[in-house]
Amino acid sequence: MMFSRLAFVALPLLAANFFQLASGKAQGVKTSAMLQTGSVAGSKAALEVERVVHAKPAEQQAFVLALVDVVKQGRNLTDTQMEIVNVLQRMWYDQILPEMQRGHEADAQLLGEHLAGLGTCDQELAQRHSEVSAIADEKSQLEDSQFRCDEGHAAMDSNASAMVAGFHTFIESATPPSIPIPDVRAASPDMDSYVSENLLWFEGFNRSYKEMEAEVVALQALLVAKGEVCTGARTTFEAKFCAWQSEIKQVTASYSACREAATGLYQATLTAAKSNAASRKVQYAAAFQIECYLKVLIAPGAASQSMLASCQNSDASTSALDVQEFPLPPANEQLLSGLGQVQGGNLDCDAVAAEVAAQVSAAATAAEAAAENGGMVSG
């Protein structure tokens, strides 16, 4: 039963109408109890009380103002009019003012809820924070193992270099026996000895030379394989690094989108609540004055001109209907920075993604080839 603003605008008009009714000047409304100055049948009076009680608030106000005019003219109110005044008085206290208060409280509660909405952005951020941390941990582990792989590769590489160098030294320092061929070029014990000594040396040289060569080739193959493992480890690390960075960006963006939406909702609600409060204050001020008139009309024999005049001049304090504004909590910079920095860097994450895809497809091709070979062998 809240008054609309329109009703207040229409009030003067209605008041004029009711003034006529209450003061008995209206033509053609002969049966209205509001016109009655004498005794009225009980049932008829009750009907009229009902009528006013169920009238629109603006009409009730107009009725009260019209009664005030009756009193101002020095006339007494009828019993029915007095009864209506009593009922209206109870209505102000039991319905209209509590409803205004409830509306005010509902707005305040809604504002509080939207304010709490900003808190849910923080809760969401805290949840996502642990996801980002988990990715960051994985990234760090991959970075470690990539680092260890590179270290191992470097050690193997230096071993291989040392081995190659040793191999070269061995070949360079190899000195075949410098036994001159016997002067007599004919079968002889000397010739036998010449051949066997040379053979012995070259056999030994060939054995060591071939062994070392095989070792060098094997180590170089291991080195290449290790290099591939480390390249794979680097790509895996870089892919995780990129995933981590993109997660940070995504979480940061959704946090600010959440805050933007919640702030927008709060501001819109605040605007609506302020507008509600403004019209509620207008309603309250009017209701306050009417309530003052009702008190005067109800007081036995107290409907003095001065009291009525004081109602006209009284100003309602509407500060209780003020909308309480809360400072919006700032963004949680601590959690945000705890996500980790988005690094400019020169890592091309698109290229990393392409490399991962290439690795996956190469592995699939290799598996296919292995399956085919296996089939041929067994078939």
Ligand X SMILES: *[C@@H]1O[C@H](CO)[C@@H](O)[C@H](O)[C@H]1NC(C)=O
Judge whether 89 and 42 are in contact, CB under 8 Å: no
**Cα-to-chain-centroid distance, residue 26:** 64
Q: Which is nearer to ligand X, 162 or 360 (CB)?
A: 162
Give the residue from 290, 302, 310 showing the smallest Cα distance to 66.
Answer: 290
CB of 9 to ligand X, least distance (A): 35
Q: In the set 5, 72, 210, 249, which binds ligand X (CB under 6 A)?
A: 210
Instruction: Output phi, psi for 182, to 5 deg.
Output: -55, 140
The DSSP annotation for 216-235 comes to HHHHHHHHHHHHHHHHHHHH
Q: Looking at 148-156, 181-189, 257-265, 347-355, which segment touches ligand X (CB under 6 A)?
A: 148-156
Q: Looking at 9-17, 100-108, 153-161, 287-295, which segment touches ligand X (CB under 6 A)?
A: 153-161
CB of 153 to ligand X, least distance (A): 8
Indicate the length of the chain as a whole number.
379
CB of 146 to ligand X, least distance (A): 16
> What character string, x for contact with ligand X (CB under 6 A) and - otherwise, covers 101-140?
----------------------------------------
Q: In the set 123, 127, 159, 365, which binds ligand X (CB under 6 A)?
A: 159
Q: Which is nearer to ligand X, 119 or 152 (CB)?
A: 152
Q: Does 295 bind ligand X (CB under 6 A)?
A: no
Q: Which is nearer to ligand X, 206 or 361 (CB)?
A: 206
Give the residue from 19, 91, 78 showing the smallest Cα distance to 45.
Answer: 78
d(CA 300, CA 37): 18
Q: Is 207 exposed, middle or buried (0-12, 13-18, 19+ CB in 10 A)?
A: exposed
What is the b/e burial string over 282-312, where b = at least 16 CB atoms within 10 angstroms of the residue's CB? ebbbbbbbbbbbbebbeeeeebeeebbeebe
Q: Which is nearer to ligand X, 9 or 221 (CB)?
A: 221
Q: Which is nearer to ligand X, 213 or 325 (CB)?
A: 213
Instruction: Output phi, psi for 87, to 5 deg.
Output: -65, -45
Q: Does 216 bind ligand X (CB under 6 A)?
A: no
**Cα-to-chain-centroid distance, residue 58:** 46
- How many chain residues interact with ligand X (CB under 6 A)? 8
Q: Does 304 bind ligand X (CB under 6 A)?
A: no
Q: Does 168 bind ligand X (CB under 6 A)?
A: no
Distances (CA, A) of 23 to 20, 66, 127: 5, 7, 71
Name the amino acid, one letter, at 64: V
Q: Does 76 bind ligand X (CB under 6 A)?
A: yes
Give the residue from 121, 120, 103, 110 showing the smallest Cα distance to 270.
Answer: 110
Q: Which is nearer to ligand X, 176 or 264 (CB)?
A: 176
Q: Looking at 50-58, 93-101, 152-160, 338-346, which segment touches ligand X (CB under 6 A)?
A: 152-160
CB of 155 to ligand X, least distance (A): 4
Q: Which is nearer to ligand X, 84 or 219 (CB)?
A: 219
Q: In the set 46, 75, 138, 243, which binds ligand X (CB under 6 A)?
A: 75
Q: Does 206 bind ligand X (CB under 6 A)?
A: yes
Q: In the set 2, 82, 91, 156, which binds ligand X (CB under 6 A)?
A: 156
Q: Which is nearer to ligand X, 10 or 156 (CB)?
A: 156
Q: Is 67 exposed, middle or buried (0-12, 13-18, 19+ CB in 10 A)?
A: buried
Q: Can you tell me which residue has the tokens 């091309």? A: 348
Q: Does 205 bind ligand X (CB under 6 A)?
A: no
CB of 228 to ligand X, least distance (A): 15
Contact set with ligand X (CB under 6 A):
75-76, 152, 155-156, 159, 206, 210
